[in-house]
Amino acid sequence: MFHTFSEAEFPISTRLADPGIQLWRWVEFALHIPYFLVDFRVSMKEGSWGRHLIFSDVNEVIQLNALDKTHFRIQSVCVLFPSYMTGSRTYELVEIREVWSNRDSHHDLLFLTKCDRKLRSYEYSDEASESEMECVLRVATDGSDPQNH
């Protein structure tokens, strides 16, 4: 969830952007939740270019990862973790390789980072053990085809 404000809007010529495109100098994070920064490469006959999107819902990332990879490939997924998840005093940006979900509660997520750190989305007193979780997103940045599970 993001809040946008008119004073943060960056004017852009219609010659430089498609109709409906708006640019923002800044946005406000509405909630203290993980945010997902996805870098991917688009390849068409006209050329190849990078895109960078930020999502507030892991399900959007899962859907993007499930699309046909003919014309794009995810390069990396980083998560901007709020301080309560990392024990730090502020948000922390970490590249991830997998996301696991509790079969009974889609809000209970386990993130495996590229450096083998495990971060849990919520501190449930009745949180599922890792054996009760399933992989919902796997990011392969080595050129192999990542698979959703």
Residue 140 confidence (pLDDT) above 70: yes
Average pLDDT over residues 32-40: 92
Q: Are 109 and 120 in contact (CB under 8 A)?
A: yes
56, 31 contact by CB (below 8 A): yes
Q: Count of CB atoms within 10 A of residue 16's CB?
A: 8
Q: Residue 56 contacts by C-beta under 8 Å, 6 or more apart in sequence?
A: 1, 2, 31, 33, 35, 36
Beta strands in 4-140 (DSSP E): 9-10, 23-24, 28-29, 35-44, 47-55, 72-81, 92-102, 109-113, 118-120, 133-138
Strand (E) or helix (H) holding 3: strand 2-3
Averaged pLDDT, 52-81 = 90
Average pLDDT, the chain: 85
Residue 141 is predicted with a pLDDT of 62
Tell me the average pLDDT across 53-80: 90
Residue 114 contacts residue 104 (beta carbons within 8 Å):
no
- For the segment 92-101, the average pLDDT, to the nearest whole number, is 94
Q: What whole-number distance in Å separates Cα of residue 74 and Cα of residue 58?
A: 14
Residue 149: pLDDT above 70?
no
Describe the chain by its helix, strand, coil percentages, rounded to 5. 15, 40, 45
- Model confidence, pTM: 0.81
DSSP at 127: P
Ranges 22-31, 76-85, 122-131: which has the least confidence:
122-131
Residue 18 binned pLDDT confidence (cut-offs 50, 70, 90): confident
